[in-house]
Structure 1
Amino acid sequence: MTDQLWRRDPDSSTRETPRPYIRAFVPRGGLDAAITFYEELQGVEVDLRTPYPEKGLDIATVGAFLLVEGTEEVLEPFRATHGTLLVADLDVYEQRLVERGAEILDARIDVPTGSGLTARHPDGTIVEYVHHRPQPHER
């Protein structure tokens, strides 16, 4: 397990299209094995790994998957979210969501990678929207 954030692309501001992640929930102690599985499955390498101590989680992204490691109790509230979308501008997405009738469930908060919010779409789909921003050690 790593004790600090590292990632290949620390700033999503220049993304021309959003990057969707399928969420995979991993029991505590299983993140390394999950990373290896998803790397081998997709033929790509892990490109983000970070602890999220405020929530009791460890997180990694491998290709199309967001791996979320924690105890069953810690993971439970996160299981209702269907996916994560990495976006260039969180303000734009928040405005679009509200204008189109989505409900903001969790207002914008700072997360280890930048900032994010969670919204329920009119069809009931719950999505976390995240804007990655470089941290001081990544500049």
Structure 2
Amino acid sequence: MVLLLIGAWQRERWLRHKRQVLTEILDLADALERELLECRARLREIPALAASLSPSEQLSARATLAAEPQVQDALRDLLAHRLWLKDHAADASIGELTSARDALVATRTSLNAQLARLANVRADFEQTVRPPR
């Protein structure tokens, strides 16, 4: 009887941990999707900001748009991960789920660095277009 209770307690603990990791993954995926969409929107604003710059500066501004396909690829990958979760979450091990969570954390960290650089580029463009008074 004691072994049965211990087994039930361990199973409940494992299930609770798995639900927690799944919740973290879904929350991270939602946040990453919002950040990717924000990044794409910011990238698309740069040509308008660069319109009043010299042709060589405009070329530099348009070069930042080369990152947009990477954002699209990341959104597709995120969708693939969501579909994998939908199909395999019930069978996935804690290790697989933890790896998925860690990959999302790493992607978000990298994206946040990209967003910071994008904010700096935008600030530089705005300062070039409208120099400080």
TM range (shorter): under 0.3
TM-score (norm 1): 0.21
Task: Point out which structure has higher relative CO (alpha carbons under 8 A, 6+ apart).
Answer: 2
Answer 1 or 2: which has greater strand percent: 1
Q: Which has the higher helix share?
A: 2
Indicate the structure (1 or 2) with the bigger Cα radius of gyration. Answer: 2
